[in-house]
Amino acid sequence: MNRTLSLQKNVPLLALNSFGIAAMAQFFLRIERAGQLLQLRDDATLSAMPRLLLGGGSNLVLSDTVNALVVQLALMGKRVNSEDERYVYVSAAAGEKWHEFVLWTLQQGLGGLENLSLIPGTVGAAPIQNIGAYGVEMQDYFHHLTAFDFQTGETVTLDKSACRFAYRDSIFKREYKDRMVILEVTFALPKTWQVRLNYGDVAQFLATKNIVQPSPKDVSDAIIVIRQSKLPDPAVIGNAGSFFKNPIVPAVLRDRLVASYPSMVSYVQTDGSYKLAAGWLIEQCGWKGKSLGRVGVYPKQALVLVNLGGATGAEVRQLAQQIRSDVRGKFGVDLEVEPVFI
Ligand code: EPU
**Confidence bin at 336 (pLDDT 50/70/90):** very high
pLDDT tier at 1, thresholds 50, 70, 90: very low
Cα–Cα distance measured from residue 245 to residue 168, given in angstroms and rounded to the nearest whole number:
8
Class in CATH terms, 8-73: alpha beta
Structurally, what CATH architecture does the domain formed by 238-341 represent?
Answer: Alpha-Beta Complex (3.90)
Q: Give me the pLDDT at residue 268, please.
A: 94
pLDDT classification of 285: cutoffs 50, 70, 90: very high
The average pLDDT across 67-90 equals: 97
CA 115 to ligand 1: nearest atom: 38
pLDDT at 152 over 70: yes
Alpha-carbon span 202 to 225, nearest angstrom: 10
By most ligand atoms within 8 Å of CB, the mutation choice from 280, 306, 335, 337 for ligand 1 is 280
C-alpha 46/C-alpha 37 separation (Å) is 11
pLDDT in tens, 176-213: 998 999 999 999 999 999 999 988 789 999 999 999 99
Tell me, in angstroms, the distance from the centre of ligand 1 to residue 98's CA: 20
pLDDT of 3: 53
Q: Do 319 and 293 contact (CB within 8 A), yes or no?
A: yes
For residue 298, what are the CA distances in angstroms to 17, 109, 295, 308?
Answer: 18, 36, 9, 10
d(CA 96, CA 94): 6
Rg, C-alpha atoms of the chain: 21
- Residue 116 to residue 224: CA distance in whole angstroms: 9
Residues above pLDDT 70, as percent of the chain: 99
Mean pLDDT (whole number) for 112-123:
96
Of all protein residues, whose CA lies closest to atom 29 belonging to ligand 1? 133
For 272, counting Cβ atoms within 10 Å of its Cβ (0-12 exposed, 13-18 middle, 19+ buried), the class is exposed
> Element (H or E) spanning 138, and its range?
none
Question: In the predicted model, is pLDDT for residue 2 greater than 50?
Answer: no
Mean pLDDT over 273-279 rounds to 97
Give the rounded distance of the alpha carbon of 123 from its chain centre.
10
Is a pLDDT exceeding 50 seen at residue 105? yes
241 lines ligand 1 (CB under 6 A): yes
Specify the CATH architecture of the domain 78-190: 2-Layer Sandwich (3.30)
Establish how many alpha carbons lie within 13 A of residue 171's alpha carbon, considering only the half-sphere containing its beta carbon.
15
- Please tell me whether residue 140 adopts helix, strand or coil conformation: helix
Gap from CA of 303 to ligand 1 centroid (Å) = 7
Overall pTM > 0.85: yes
301 lines ligand 1 (CB under 6 A): yes
pLDDT of residue 92: 98
Mean pLDDT of 146-161: 97
Q: Do domains 78-190 and 238-341 have the same CATH topology?
A: no
Strand-pairing partners, residue 11, are 25
Burial (0-12, 13-18, 19+ Cβ within 10 Å), 224: middle
Question: What residues have CB less than 8 Å from 79, skipping those under 6 apart?
Answer: 90, 91, 92
CA 318 from centroid of its chain's CA atoms: 22
For residue 257, the model assigns a pLDDT of 97
Any residues with CB less than 8 A from the CB of 243 and at least 6 apart, and which?
303, 304, 305, 320, 337, 338, 339
Test site for ligand 1: of 242, 274, 287, 298, most ligand atoms within 8 A of the Cβ: 242
Q: In sequence order, which residues have a C-beta less than 8 Å from that of residue 72 and are 6 or more positions away?
A: 16, 28, 29, 30, 31, 54
Residue 80: pLDDT over 90? yes
Domain chopping of the chain, boundaries: 8-73, 78-190, 200-230, 238-341
Catalytic residue ranges = 168, 242, 338
Task: Answer whether 246's CB lies under 8 Å from 342's CB.
Answer: no
Task: Give the model's pLDDT for residue 335.
Answer: 98
**Amino acid occupying residue 303:** L
